[in-house]
A and B are shown apart, each in its own frame.
Chain A
Amino acid sequence: DTGVSQNPRHKITKRGQNVTFRCDPISEHNRLYWYRQTLGQGPEFLTYFQNEAQLEKSRLLSDRFSAERPKGSFSTLEIQRTEQGDSAMYLCASSFNAYEQFFGPGTRLTVL
């Protein structure tokens, strides 16, 4: 499978705990994106990397959220001190150009 992969697929955590998600993009893609999707809504942009540089961050990405892409390959998204409002599907996408974003299957986070 050469598509975007995300792990874990599901995460259940208690409020106040930290969680970390991983995204492995398609191998030749230098651009990587994170989105969040809540029930009944379309995805909302969170952040964008070109290689290892984080070039854009949405105002949705509060200071409890941090994303990294240390070697320009995989990326991690960490949420500290989770809140119930963080429950959502976290989607990763990658691309080799400015306009074709390919999405992974997502990580569904449930905060109890």
Chain B
Amino acid sequence: GEDVEQSLFLSVREGDSSVINCTYTDSSSTYLYWYKQEPGAGLQLLTYIFSNMDMKQDQRLTVLLNKKDKHLSLRIADTQTGDSAIYFCAEGNDYKLSFGAGTTVTVRA
């Protein structure tokens, strides 16, 4: 079965980099994802990486994938107050996404 784990909380100072980590168990996952959820809102697709890649960069976001260790990370550079949210890691194949429980990121001034 699928199991995605991530740490529950992260506190970061405004302007610093945030790193959110995730581990997954399904080695057949085709894509790995990061979604953002703000209070009372649905999930926003931030970025995703194909399983045969090891890095993807998109503006302030950098995704690193270690397929051997089944470890995924999301780095947010120059973290802003608007980055405060819950970040979900997910693995997917074709139609089904399996999510972790989410990491609550709090940005302090």
Contacts and interface: CB of A to CB of B under 8 A. Distances in A.
Contact of A31 (B95, B97, B99): B95
Q: Which of B4, B44, B45 has the most CB of A within 10 A?
A: B45
A101 B99 CA distance: 13
Interface in B88-109: 88, 90, 92, 94-102
Interface of B: 4, 30-31, 35, 41-45, 48, 88, 90, 92, 94-102
B44 to A, nearest CB: 8
A37 B44 CA distance: 15
A56 B101 CA distance: 23
A45 B97 contact: yes
Interface in A93-112: 93, 98-106
A101 B101 contact: no
Interface residues of A, number: 24
B99 A43 contact: yes
A33 interface: yes
A102 B95 contact: no
Contacts, number: 54
Contacts of B99: 42-44
A104 B43 CA distance: 7
Contacts of B4: 42
Contact of B45 (A45, A100, A105): A100
Contacts of B100: 42
A26 interface: no
B42 A99 contact: no
B97 A56 contact: no
B102 A56 contact: no
Nearest to A45: B96
9 pairs of A and B residues whose beta carbons are closest in the complex: A42-B99, A103-B42, A103-B43, A48-B95, A105-B42, A45-B96, A99-B31, A98-B94, A42-B88
A79 interface: no
